[in-house]
């Protein structure tokens, strides 16, 4: 029997607890946690995420604002908005939706966000803290994957975890968290040899590639736990639908447990963004 790792359900429990913690926080400090989401351009997928984020922020009891800028926004203008949010005491968390249009310098923006308001955990100070096990703000998607893994497996010590993908957003911080949880960690990417054979050795397989259904059933060790981070929009029978980086049908015949797309990592990411917003607000009121 294969276990379905239900991200929708697990994330609902996380948000429910968070709403309780937020109430306590507001009662104690008289401050409502504030989240600002910045979206440059009108990428339809990003609009979906931003909508979900604003909805969940409201459910958690936060104050949330959405800042939409046109696709041809210049660096100066975006910098000015980020600085304004950095200086706004009602804003505790800032998320700039990535990727940015190509005229904008992404590293410059990530550095400009105040590290204590960086609820994505992408600022170099937060990346360094994560690498040395001192992180407060942990990237949302990998944090969500860890919650799912711990809920499914309990202690992860000694397990061989294979992460497919090495982006700053998912693959690298995922590997850091798995290592911290005492896994033996292998990271593979587009230049790796023997990816299939390496995947087949995984007790835990995390797919963050951005290639629809790349990971086949035959790549999975029987009984393994599979976390599918991929969000890929594909056309099927003239309809747009979302698929992951794992061929779900085949994989679920081999895996011991597997997360679906949609309804897996996506909702967990948003729940963890809310967790980070409360963490950031806590840090700022006690600073
Ligand atoms: N559910 C959620 O909340 C989130 C989902 N996502 C989704 O996760 C997926 C990955 O996102 P992200 O990490 O940002 O993507 P990136 O494109 O930044 O990184 C993809 C990684 O996969 C590697 N890769 C690409 N092709 C292959 C291949 N054929 N074999 C092995 N490795 C390969 C790349 O290698 P190299 O480094 O060598 O180029 C790179 O490291 C996407 O589908 C994205 O939409 C992302 C963020 C959040
Ligand atoms: N600075 C920044 N931080 C991010 O965390 C970030 C980002 N930029 N850019 C884009 C990616 C992608 N991402 C998702 C969030 C939620 C869902 C999500 O809610 N998915 C639902 C359904 C979505 C749908 O129906 O389209 C699900 O999988 O069930 C998906 C993807 C966050 N990202
Ligand atoms: Mg994130």
Measured between alpha carbons, how far is 38 from 53 in angstroms, rounded to an integer?
Answer: 11
Measured between alpha carbons, how far is 98 from 204 in angstroms, rounded to an integer?
Answer: 27
Residues of the chain with pLDDT below 50 are none
The CATH number of the structural domain formed by 140-267 is 3.40.50.720
Ligand 3 (ion): which residues have CB within 5 A?
A: 120, 139-141
Distance 49 CA to ligand 2 centre (A): 5
| pTM (predicted TM-score) | 0.98
Contact 252, 258 (CB under 8 A): yes
Measured between alpha carbons, how far is 70 from 144 in angstroms, rounded to an integer?
Answer: 30
**Bridge partners (DSSP) listed for residue 251:** none
The pLDDT assigned to 220 comes to: 98
**Ramachandran class of 123: left when φ > 0, alpha when ψ lies in -120 to 50, beta otherwise:** beta
- Tell me whether residue 75 is one of the annotated catalytic residues: no
With respect to CATH, is domain 29-119 assigned 3.40.50.10860? yes
**Domain segments of the chain as ranges:** 29-119, 140-267
The pLDDT assigned to 143 comes to: 98
User: Mind listing the pLDDT tens digit for each residue in 124-147?
Assistant: 999 999 999 999 999 999 999 999
The pLDDT assigned to 59 comes to: 87
* DSSP letter assigned to residue 138: -
User: Mind listing the pLDDT tens digit for each residue in 48-76?
Assistant: 888 889 889 998 999 999 999 999 999 99
According to the annotation, is 51 in a ligand binding site?
no
- Tell me whether residue 9 is one of the annotated catalytic residues: no
Contact 190, 171 (CB under 8 A): no
The pLDDT assigned to 287 comes to: 78
The pLDDT assigned to 48 comes to: 82
Distance 229 CA to ligand 3 centre (A): 11
ipTM of the complex: 0.98
Return the best residue to mutate from 266, 270, 277 for the ligand 2 pocket (most ligand atoms within 8 A of CB): 266
Helix (H) or strand (E) holding 52: helix 44-59
Nearest residue (CA) to ligand 1, atom 20: 209
According to the annotation, is 231 in a ligand binding site?
yes
Phi, psi of 38 (to 5 degrees): -110, 130
Distance 208 CA to ligand 1 centre (A): 5
The pLDDT assigned to 52 comes to: 87
Q: Taken in order 195, 200, 204, 208, is the CA torsion positive or negative?
A: positive
Of the candidates 118, 120, 228, 245, the residue annotated as catalytic is: 120
Contact 143, 275 (CB under 8 A): yes
DSSP track, 149-201:
HHHHHS--TT-EEEEE---TTTHHHHHHHHHHTT-EEEEE-TT-S-HHHHHTT
The pLDDT assigned to 222 comes to: 98
Of the candidates 53, 159, 172, 221, the residue annotated as catalytic is: 53
């Amino acid at each position: 029997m294969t276990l379905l790792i239900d991200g929708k359900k697990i994330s609902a429990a996380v948000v429910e607890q968070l709403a309780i913690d937020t109430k306590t926080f507001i009662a104690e400090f008289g401050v409502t946690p504030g989240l600002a989401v910045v979206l440059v351009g009108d990428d339809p997928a990003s609009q979906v995420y931003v909508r979900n984020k604003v909805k969940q922020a409201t459910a958690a009891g936060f104050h949330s604002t959405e800042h939409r800028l046109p696709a041809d926004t210049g660096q100066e203008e975006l910098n000015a908005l980020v600085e304004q949010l950095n200086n706004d005491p009602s804003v505790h968390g800032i998320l700039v939706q990535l990727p940015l249009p190509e005229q904008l310098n992404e590293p410059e923006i990530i550095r400009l966000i105040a590290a204590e308001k960086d609820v994505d955990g992408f600022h170099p100070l937060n990346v360094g803290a994560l690498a040395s096990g001192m992180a407060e703000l942990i990237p949302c998607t990998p944090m969500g994957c860890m919650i799912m893994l711990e809920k499914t497996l309990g202690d992860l010590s000694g397990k061989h975890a294979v992460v497919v993908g090495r982006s700053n957003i998912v693959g690298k911080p995922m590997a850091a968290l798995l290592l911290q949880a005492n896994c033996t960690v292998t990271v593979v990417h587009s230049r790796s040899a023997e990816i299939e054979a390496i995947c087949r050795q995984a007790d835990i397989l995390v797919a963050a590639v951005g290639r629809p259904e790349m990971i086949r059933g035959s790549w999975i060790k029987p009984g393994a736990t599979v976390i599918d981070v991929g969000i890929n929009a594909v056309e099927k029978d003239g309809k747009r639908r979302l698929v992951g980086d794992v061929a779900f049908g085949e994989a679920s015949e081999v895996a011991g447990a597997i997360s679906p797309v949609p309804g897996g990592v996506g909702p967990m990411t948003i729940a963890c963004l809310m967790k980070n917003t409360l963490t950031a607000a806590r840090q700022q009121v006690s600073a």
